[in-house]
Amino acid sequence: MEPFSIIVTLASGILIGWWGHTLTSRRDREAREHADKREKESRRTDLLSTLQHWHHTFVVVTDPAESKRLYYFGGGMKELAAAAVKFRADVADKEVFDRLNHQMSNMNPETLDTNGSDKRRDTICGAIRAFTEFVRNA
């Protein structure tokens, strides 16, 4: 084989190898990005589902004492806070996320009764709705 043929063959092999590596790398990166996006949407869906469940739960409760019991002892806010923690890493504006999550899931009794004990349900549902809207747009 002539030296020129050897050089052309080697150069062609290097170019084909580089091209194949580039395509494989791009395909792998796109697959990872797609999987990350799917996982983020799954976490968002889980959080929105939990928010919707507890919003509906509080909407139907008309007794202020029962809404307070559900909020503090019924597991609602612990479940919401746990679901929120899973989604937090996916949010760009963590400061707003933390503020809305705190307003929703960490109300003390005075905050809960700011508008009167007969408005506990409205206070809780309002906080859940504000957080839900933020999560949908995050």
Q: Closest by alpha carbon to 62, among 105, 120, 128, 126? A: 120
- Listed by start position, the domains of the chain span 40-137
Written as one letter, the residue type at 72 is Y
20, burial (CB in 10 Å: exposed 0-12, middle 13-18, buried 19+)? exposed
Q: Tokens 């395509």, residue?
A: 23
> How would residue 119 be classed by pLDDT, with cut points 50, 70 and 90?
confident
Mean confidence (pLDDT) of the chain: 87
| Cα–Cα distance measured from residue 65 to residue 89, given in angstroms and rounded to the nearest whole number | 35
> In this structure, how many other beta carbons lie within 10 angstroms of the beta carbon of residue 51?
22
For residues 108-123, one letter each, b for 16 or more C-beta atoms within 10 angstroms of the residue's C-beta and e for the rest, the string is: eeeebbeeeeebbbeb
Task: Give me the amino acid identity at 103.
Answer: Q
Residue 114 predicted with pLDDT over 90: no
Whether the pTM exceeds 0.85: the reply is: no
pLDDT digits (tens, 9 = 90+) for 82-97: 888 889 999 999 999 9
Give the separation between CA 51 and CA 100, rounded to whole angstroms. Answer: 13
Residue 55 burial (CB count, 10 A): 18
Mean pLDDT, residues 10-21: 84
**Among the ranges 17-26, 42-51, 69-78, 116-125, which has the highest mean pLDDT value?**
42-51
